Structure 1
Amino acid sequence: MVLQTRANPLESPDQGSFAALMELYEMNYIYLRRLVPQLDGRRDAQVSSVDRGPDLHLEVTERCPYTTSLLLTHRFEARDGEESLPDLRVRIYHDARVAEVMAEFPPAAPALLWRWESNRFLNRWLRYCLGEGHAFDANNDRPVVERPQARRWAV
């Protein structure tokens, strides 16, 4: 008996297709749930710190029966204060178990390509954050600081 494993949509020949995008959304959901295991509303703003690298900030911006929208960003020191980069808005669809970047794409850009690129970035960034040891714990007592002005960041 041969076990079949799912191909990584980032490396599949169907990369950029609608089917691969749906797989990417599923992977993003899995990584987000590893990063944020508790989305029960007790802490709608949290900070994850690791020994090396910038803090990772999470802010839940909307709760609905089947979805949760949130902001994820790193904070960096800038000449004129702090800066949030990347500054991604993500929507989690709990019933479908998928997560996608919520971004306005330029009118001239093909929607599928834009979604593929922005969600591929989210996927790689989530893997990086998890690899660095970031995690959001519902019992974290660290005070949450206000989010600095975010710079527009194109994927």
Structure 2
Amino acid sequence: MSQLNPVNKSFCLEQVCAANYQKILCLIPNLLDCLDTATGRAKGASTLHLEILERSPYTLTILLSHSFKKNLEEFMEPAVTIRLYLDLQLAEAISDHSRAAVTRVYKNPGLSLEIMNYKWRLNYFLQKWLEHCLNKNYRFSAETIETIAIA
């Protein structure tokens, strides 16, 4: 199976993360107002699930996954953990259902080439999956998003 392997991977990775940030905001327009969880639906497709894992002034960590079964206790796939850098407008895939976080896989920071390749594969996969979700016209409607009450 062929694999996309750009020459300047660090530059391309930054571009992919920037594009993924925009794709996520197109997919979930009210993401920054979401409190805990949300669901997205598309005609004839499985449900998308969003869970906010961590929120700070400059980052938001989310879990985005498909549920192929009606029972939410069933295995969710691809279950991608994504960190959004709000100030930089980047979205970085940290792990997915089949790949652990890079910090768990590579303990030695001297393995920069292997770390870059690992991050590239995760984020390139995220890019393609987000494009698939956008092409399926998933919608996170106002009723499915628990928003923060503005007082």
Structure 2 length-normalised TM = 0.76
Sort the Cα spacing of 1:14 and 1:136 in 2 relative to 1 into closer, same or farther, 3 A: farther
Instruction: Map 1:2-151 to 2 at 5 A.
Output: 13-14=6-7, 17-77=9-69, 82-103=74-95, 104-105=101-102, 106-107=105-106, 110-137=114-141, 139-141=142-144
Q: Is the 8 A contact 1:34 1:135 kept in 2?
A: no
RMSD: 2.5
1:7-63 Cα offsets, whole Å, 9 max, x none, are xxx979536x10011001101001011011113444421111112121000011111
**Regions of 4+ moved over 4 Å:** 10-13
The residue identity in structure 2 corresponding to 1:57 is H
Q: Is the 8 A contact 2:52 2:60 kept in 1?
A: yes
Q: Is the 8 A contact 1:74 1:87 kept in 2?
A: yes
Greater per-residue helix proportion: 2
The residue identity in structure 2 corresponding to 1:49 is R
Q: Is the 8 A contact 2:40 2:144 kept in 1?
A: no
The residue identity in structure 1 corresponding to 2:67 is R
Give ranges in structure 2 of 5+ residues lacking alignment. 96-100, 147-151
Structure 1 length-normalised TM = 0.74
The residue identity in structure 1 corresponding to 2:118 is W
The residue identity in structure 2 corresponding to 1:114 is Y
Matched position secondary structure for 1:87: strand
Q: Is the 8 A contact 2:42 2:139 kept in 1?
A: no
What's the CA shift for 1:100? Answer: 0.3
